[in-house]
Chain A
Amino acid sequence: MESPRDRKYFARKKVCRFCTESIEMNYKNIDTLSRYITDRKKIVPKRNSGLCARCQRQLATEIKRARFMALLPYTVLH
């Protein structure tokens, strides 16, 4: 069932990068994680990251771990 409203946008199907590619999500892998933080160092929301729910949760955990170990900043104001 498609309402006229849906047709206004062309929605590209999002695929979770961590599920489809074999990238290891790990708090020590800062290069990967830093792709998912904004320039104000916030965690990118799921609607922008395009990750599946499970990967997004895992991502948040790993980013928080990296922050605690001073591998990633909490904020730009440090």
Chain B
Amino acid sequence: MAVKPRYYETLYIIRPDIKEEELAKIEQRLHDALAAHEGEIIRFDKWAQRELAYEILDYNRGTYYIIIFKSLPGAVAELERHLRFYNTDVLRFMTVSITEAAANKEKAAQENKAAEESSTPEAAAPSETAPSETAPSETAPSEAAPAEAAPEPEQETKPESEPATAEPTEGGAN
């Protein structure tokens, strides 16, 4: 019996004072890992920057990134191997398998966002370019940029995670 691809969601925490090029390197590596295993990335972006509920490796803040993808089960181990490789930068990571319905909802949300982006590029652009961290590392910056602006259902419930303009380094000082 052939192994079927499944839907997964990986959430990982990056230390707040990471340099942009290192962040880009990690993201590139994760993209490559999934690509090598024919994983289809549905969503890959920053989820929140927030206070951690408890200290991890002496950090009290962290930036959460989320990857939602479809792949064969073997790809998960590979992805986690790469996350473990950066264990000083990646404070925590967790992969959970999600239902196809949840994944499709996410996919639709991403497509809506992309459509909104293309229909009103001028309206979206000025506010998005201002925060310094939007520019660097996403493989699809045009898609990644409105992630902060578009009202995601999860982000609505947590207003404290919204301020995307906050510099990651500010939290890392303490």
| Interface residues, chain A, with chain B CB atoms under 8 Å away | 26-32, 65, 67-74, 78
Contact = CB atoms under 8 A, between A and B. Distances in A.
A32 B91 CA distance: 25
Nearest 8 pairs of A and B residues by beta carbon:
A78-B54, A70-B52, A73-B53, A70-B53, A31-B157, A28-B154, A72-B53, A73-B54
Q: Of B52, B53, B62, B64, which is in contact with the most chain A CB atoms at under 10 Å from its CB? A: B53
B56 A31 contact: no
Interface residues of B, number: 18
B31 interface: no
B17 to A, nearest CB: 17
A65 B53 CA distance: 13
Contacts of B154: 26, 28-29
Contacts of B13: 69-70
A74 to B, nearest CB: 7
Contacts of B52: 70
B157 A70 contact: no
B54 A65 contact: no
Contacts of A67: 53
A69 B54 CA distance: 10
| Interface secondary structure of B, over-half rule | strand
Contact of B11 (A28, A30, A74): A28
Contact of A70 (B47, B54, B158): B54
B149 interface: no
B96 interface: yes
A71 B64 CA distance: 10
A28 B55 contact: no
Interface in B1-57: 11, 13, 47, 50, 52-56
Q: Of A27, A28, A72, which is in contact with the most chain B CB atoms at under 10 Å from its CB? A: A28
B94 interface: yes
B115 to A, nearest CB: 24
